[in-house]
Amino acid sequence: MKFNIFDLLLPRETKFFTLFDSQVDALIKGGEAFRKLVADIEGLQEFEIKTRVSEIKEIETRGDVIEHEIIDALHQSFITPFDREDIHLMAVNIDRSLDIINSTAHKIEMYGIRKVPVNIVNFADIIMDMCLELQKLMTQFKNKGAVEDIIKKIHELENKADFLFRISLADLFNNGTDAVEIIKFKQIYEHLEDLTDCIDFIGKTVRGITVKQG
């Protein structure tokens, strides 16, 4: 095989996509663990809640490592498969999504929440659906396949989460009797709504990349 100096300079495009796949895989694991936490929380012992929250933290830490690997790869790569700014934006927002999951889980433990409204479980279901669609999106993006329908689906799920957020806050303020509990759950809902916005933004970022690439 003929040696080509550019083989040393041109990165394999799969390097970044493989790292993004790993990031999204961590996000899915975090989403699954969070969904199980809120769905099962009423039947869990104190130590079981702490264990599950710790597991989410471990997943989030793995996600941080992958994000750092992407940033390091950016510094080391002469040419990237698409704009450096977009690679950085995607890496940061996938990591931020996992950070929000971790932060929300810790707040549930810290606030001593041992029973959650059903809409928090419903939120966790929507988040899982969005994460799984994001995984499909990354596969299509990597393979230069059609992405628009998946991006549209992610946005539809985000709209569904927006509606759920509004009715959940309305129910909280109209039917809640304990001011402290209202404040606690308002923060939880806000975190979850921010998370869905973040995942939707990743989809829009991919759409922007495909537009620039023609």
Q: What digits encode the pLDDT tens for the residues 81-140? A: 888 899 999 999 999 999 999 999 999 999 999 999 999 999 999 999 999 999 999 999
Q: What digits encode the pLDDT tens for the residues 138-177? A: 999 998 899 999 999 999 999 999 999 999 999 999 987 7
Residue 22: CA count within 13 A, CB half-sphere: 16
Q: Which of 59, 64, 34 is nearest to 49 (CA)?
A: 34
Q: What digits encode the pLDDT tens for the residues 43-73? A: 999 999 999 999 999 999 999 999 999 999 8
- Domain 13-213, architecture per CATH: Up-down Bundle (1.20)
How many other C-beta atoms can be found within 10 angstroms of the C-beta atom of residue 54? 13
pLDDT at 65: 97
Q: Residues 174-200: what's their mean pLDDT?
A: 94
Asked if residue 6 has pLDDT above 60, the reply is no
- Per-residue confidence band for 75, with pLDDT thresholds at 50, 70 and 90: confident
pLDDT at 176: 75
Asked if residue 4 has pLDDT above 80, the reply is no
